[in-house]
Amino acid sequence: MRLSVTTHRKREVIDLTPLLSEQLPSGNGVLHIFTQHTQAAVALADLDPGTDVDLLDALDNLIPKLQWRHPHNPSHTPDHLLASLTGPSLGVPFEQEQFLLGTWQRIILIEFDGPRDRQIILTPLPGLAK
Amino acid sequence: MRLSVTTHRKREVIDLTPLLSEQLPSGNGVLHIFTQHTQAAVALADLDPGTDVDLLDALDNLIPKLQWRHPHNPSHTPDHLLASLTGPSLGVPFEQEQFLLGTWQRIILIEFDGPRDRQIILTPLPGLAK
Amino acid sequence: MRLSVTTHRKREVIDLTPLLSEQLPSGNGVLHIFTQHTQAAVALADLDPGTDVDLLDALDNLIPKLQWRHPHNPSHTPDHLLASLTGPSLGVPFEQEQFLLGTWQRIILIEFDGPRDRQIILTPLPGLAK
């Protein structure tokens, strides 16, 4: 299953939870979520007002300030590095068409070089029948 | 399958390997391990005496010292950030009721804001039959 | 399925994409990729000339310079920490014997303490039949 999500800023956190919840099949298993980009990531986060900016600020400050070799555009290197480090994929368990998320857990897309249309591949993996 | 694990300190590394090994079904596949919290993470690590504290120290020093916006309690922001960065989930392959771990690999829960009871969802995913 | 990959330097990025592509079964699902080591990791990255060294440099500079407790060899602590942080496993969706990767996405092994032979466990997880 493929979804497209439009981002609006250079860096942005988008809550995917409502959109992905609609795609859950019956049965139980794990929804595998994968974004097809090297400047975006999928993660879980606590989302309260301002925490999205906290996350983006922290990530920005995480990457050391070095001379980059990236041939196309060295200024994009931190975007690629953060995508590799945070990771493009995540598995979230579900049961009876509902995610088994904790109270504060939200599934997020992190955009590192928007605005863009970002492609997401969803693969429901069935749990072992008992 | 759901497990509850009690943590005992503000920050702590708990070896989940023995507990999870008991839950493995027959057949082959991947055990998906997911913690339902925004201040805890699941990872793999080498565990020797002191390496748990090394890991906690390194993570502590990884997060930049910034002014956080988090509305409830800004001092919790690094806990949330480290949980998002380290990640709440992991898949570990198994075969015949045994994890296919390397000699030094241990499956760990990282507590970032204990002591608490932490919920873990286990989903065995069957590998493709040959 | 097990593969062995030989690395050639202390730190190195190896593109696994061609090797893993040959192992894809028919049908659709997610290939779970797992390395059995505490000083190596699996990730996705944009690979252009020089970007592998950018990634290794950034990771090197990410880890704070602290006094480590690791009993065997404290100088190995950053290798272990980077492996835990980057992570030993990854799921990548496939369809009809092809990865559903974005144009620039490559599946990489990151070696933190080579040269060595690194073992990789591949588990194809079937997607839910519609």
pLDDT digits (tens, 9 = 90+) for C10-54: 999 999 999 999 999 999 999 999 999 999 999 999 998 889 999
Residue B92 sits at the chain C interface (C-beta within 8 Å): yes
Task: Report whether pLDDT(A130) > 60.
Answer: no
Cis before A115? omega within 30: yes
Task: Report whether pLDDT(B72) > 90.
Answer: no
The stretch C71-80 carries a mean pLDDT of 85
Among candidate residues C35, C44, C38, the one with its CA nearest the CA of residue C112: C38
ipTM entry:
0.94
- Which member of B28, B45, B90 has the closest CB to residue C80? B45
Q: In whole angstroms, what is the distance from residue A100 CA to residue A29 CA?
A: 10
Instruction: Locate A130 and state its tokens.
Output: 């008992």
Three-state DSSP state, B92: strand
- State which residue of chain B sits closest to A46, comparing Cα positions: B38
Sheet of A98-99: strand order equals A2-6, A117-126, A28-35, A89-95, A98-99
- Which member of A85, A102, A127 has the closest CB to residue B125? A127
Residue B34 sits at the chain A interface (C-beta within 8 Å): yes
Q: Tell me which chains share at least 3 CB pairs under 8 Å with chain B.
A: A, C
Residue B37 sits at the chain A interface (C-beta within 8 Å): yes
Residue A90 sits at the chain B interface (C-beta within 8 Å): yes
Q: Do C38 and B44 touch (CB under 8 A)?
A: yes
pLDDT-derived band of residue B130, with 50, 70 and 90 as boundaries? low
Q: In whole angstroms, what is the distance from residue C87 CA to residue C108 CA?
A: 12
Q: Do B80 and A51 touch (CB under 8 A)?
A: yes
- At C71 the pLDDT is 74
- Which member of C38, C64, C123 has the closest CB to residue B29? C123
pLDDT-derived band of residue B16, with 50, 70 and 90 as boundaries? very high
Task: Report whether pLDDT(A118) > 60.
Answer: yes
Task: Report whether pLDDT(A73) > 90.
Answer: no
pTM of structure = 0.96
The stretch A69-83 carries a mean pLDDT of 85
Among candidate residues B123, B118, B103, B102, the one with its CA nearest the CA of residue B14: B118
Q: Do A38 and C91 touch (CB under 8 A)?
A: no
